[in-house]
Structure 1
Amino acid sequence: MFGRRITFGKKQHTLGELQELMRPTPDADGVTRVFPKEIWDDPKVGAMLRDLGFNPDDPRNIRKTAEDYVAMFAAAKKRLDERSEAFNRDMTARYGYCRAVPFLVIDHTIWDGEDGAFLYASMNLIGFDDWNVLMLAADERTRQMCGIAGHPGTVPAVTDVVAKHVTAWKARHEAALELYGVTATGGEGGITREQYETEKDTLRQEIVDKVGWMKPRIIDELVRIQG
């Protein structure tokens, strides 16, 4: 994917080589940047990046650390637990009993893999948030009393469909990133930062919308199977 050649002065680099320069290691000040300080110190490339509206400490140029992601996931899981408790409390008040648990449309097998990193690192999406969650019955009593579909555990058919979509979304993002990388490093035929950000926002919304589209269909299929 990152094979296009771009030019810094007289030397040519592939985007793959640029990615190596952009390796996720901290700069001398301990901050890990997408474009590290050594790139900003290059008189041609640094000036070009600044002309494009970037600076070394732009939030978009700061990589999250593993600790940042751990904290982010923990906070999202806590919010999900709180929403689940509120859901069960409200449904119990209405029906006398409820024990529902979350079902993730994009499940943990995807989030724990390389494509999961694309979703949370590039798309800023977290699987524990509402957009990806259905509340389903944990037992038969809840299913009967509350009228909600039973939790099926993992659903390989759903996971397979979602995995194909995620792979396609990731490829689209990489293509946009490659085109933006051409522009950001002084090449021709790429896209602007604004165009890249627009494409990324569009793609992110498409992911959320697709999962939203799948939710009622998953419920309908579970109800059909469970009777």
Structure 2
Amino acid sequence: MTGVMKNCIESKLTLRERKKEQTRRALARAAAELLLLAGDEGMTVAAIAARAGVSTRTFHNYFPRREDALIAFLETTVAEFAQKVRQAPEGETPLATLHHLISERVGSHESGSPDTLLNLMTIGDHLSYTTSPEEREQVRHLLDELLDALHRRGGGRLTRHATALLLGSALTAGAIAVESAQGGKDARRLSPWVLAEDSPSTTELLDAQFTLLAEGFGA
């Protein structure tokens, strides 16, 4: 086989692999969007396939069930988060990196994008109710790559337990900021007294939350 022919075959394989990955991602995102727009009943395999522009047979070539598509969406999103952590400026603290990362993802349930913080949490909640114990364990470990990236960014100054606490605190700070800014209409996880009628903007609330995390609560 000549070198030219070999390169042509490898290019075709790479193109085929890229197209397969694009289809997989399109199906995963379509499932996430439909869950948020139409709920569990509207998130049928047929609807997911139609939204992604493929047949139901193609859907099953990639995923056994709709929940697998949702898990794939979360996997891809978390992988993107981890990559951003690894690419953050040298010397930036894990907390500062999380602040930037979460700032990019704040948004309401009505935004239409499955990438917002609250919508990602909604997808996670749905999976916790609709999957088997083994699958829930898989979902629980979705954050492992992100935790590892944060732990490495800390340069050994944070233990693995401290890294997990940092990530959990940052995600909670983001959720509080978004829900408070919306006047409590999405307050499903927080006590009513946390939510003020006349709250500052989401960005202001988020900055204040991360200042508390950085400086401590003085309690």
The TM-score with structure 1 as length reference comes to 0.31
- Larger fraction in helix: 2
- Larger fraction in strand: 1
> Rg larger in 1 or in 2?
1
The TM-score with structure 2 as length reference comes to 0.32
